[in-house]
Amino acid sequence: MSDSRAIDPDAIQLPQMFGQYRLEELINQGGFSEIWLARDPERNSVCVRRLINDSLFNFTERARFFAGCEVLQRLQGCELIIGYREHGKIEGSPFLAMEYVEASNLKLLLARSDDLLHEYLGNILIDSARALEFVHDAGFMHLDFKPENLLVTRNANVKLIDFDLAQPRPEQPKKSSKNPGTPAYMAPEQLLRQPFDHRVDIFALGVTAYELVTLEKPFPGDSPDEILRRQLDRRDFRPPREVNPGVPASLEKVIVKCLETDPGSRYPFLSVVLRDLERALYL
């Protein structure tokens, strides 16, 4: 796993040993965790993520971290999912060791309108949907599907990452006492705290696809309430072809169906989304 967010120069640390891993370069950091390029005992490159805000009272982050590790461990067997090595604790610090990939996340590629997107947009869209389909078929919902959690190599290979918010996929829409996520990619039923199922991930895929073809968000807003209002109102919604006339009409139809307010009007399964995406993109 690799990411390319800016690192605070004051936070950069010298190479250090962390259990059996030699941490060589800090490549990402957040409020609760940091990600290192590391070497294992055989000197293979690996990615080590460790919790840094790990007080005894930080129950929520610790629980999410370990739950995400366990989900990732169960999702192995698909080349579109970041590779799992091991997880546990070293000197009391929770950690996850993963495959290291030379890649940028899709959010950064979008921000700079990278040429890679123009050349391989169809492949990136299809592989992102396939990765999400694998998660669903394995019995989970990702619940934080967004460009930042998709790594793309210079050869346009896709890796889905970050399963901290993943939950088991219910047979029927189910209300959750927890409602974490990124509002811009959350479906209306999530923002309304109504029962939901795997179709919220299909909505998030629609938001991501819309961004890929327009470089804009379909429902912009500075707060969850404003985003929800735009989702429900729709008077300000601009179909993809209105923003970018180069988008094929058949692709626009797929994206708009993923973005339906009513989950019953959305695609029921990723397999159907993929069928229509492949037809629209001739892949």
74-94 tens-digit pLDDT: 999 999 999 999 999 998 899
Q: What is the DSSP letter of 82?
A: P
Q: Does residue 13 carry a pLDDT above 70?
A: no
pTM of the model: 0.92
- Model confidence at 61, pLDDT cuts 50, 70, 90, reads confident
Among 73-77, 180-184, 214-218, the minimum mean pLDDT is found in 180-184
Which residue, chain included where needed, has tokens 């979008």?
Answer: 110
Q: Which of 50, 73, 99 is the last residue of a domain?
A: 99
**Count of domains observed in the chain:** 2
Q: Is residue 4 part of a domain?
A: no
Distance (Å) of CA 144 to CA 38, 39, 44, 164, 249: 26, 29, 30, 8, 28
Distance (Å) of CA 75 to CA 2, 135, 141, 166, 191: 19, 7, 12, 11, 27
> Is there a single domain that holds both residue 169 and residue 32?
no
CATH no. for residue 56?
3.30.200.20
- C-alpha–C-alpha distance, residues 187 and 201, integer Å: 8
Q: Is residue 3 part of a domain?
A: no
Q: How many CA atoms lie within 13 A of 250 on its CB side?
A: 11
Given a contact cutoff of 8 angstroms between Cβ atoms, the answer to whether 126 and 274 are in contact is yes
Kindly state the tokens that stand for 144. 């934080």
> Is there a single domain that holds both residue 119 and residue 55?
no
Q: Is residue 1 part of a domain?
A: no
pLDDT of residue 32: 82
> Is there a single domain that holds both residue 108 and residue 85?
no
> Is there a single domain that holds both residue 61 and residue 142?
no
Domain that holds residue 254: 104-281
- C-alpha–C-alpha distance, residues 135 and 202, integer Å: 12
22-46 tens-digit pLDDT: 999 999 887 788 999 999 999 999 9
Q: Which of 41, 74, 99 is the last residue of a domain?
A: 99
User: Residue 205: which of 135, 104, 156 has the closest Cα?
Assistant: 135
90-142 tens-digit pLDDT: 988 999 999 999 999 999 999 999 999 989 999 999 999 999 999 999 999 99
- C-alpha–C-alpha distance, residues 95 and 112, integer Å: 32
Q: Does residue 50 carry a pLDDT above 50?
A: yes
> Is there a single domain that holds both residue 267 and residue 236?
yes
> Is there a single domain that holds both residue 16 and residue 73?
yes
- C-alpha–C-alpha distance, residues 189 and 173, integer Å: 10
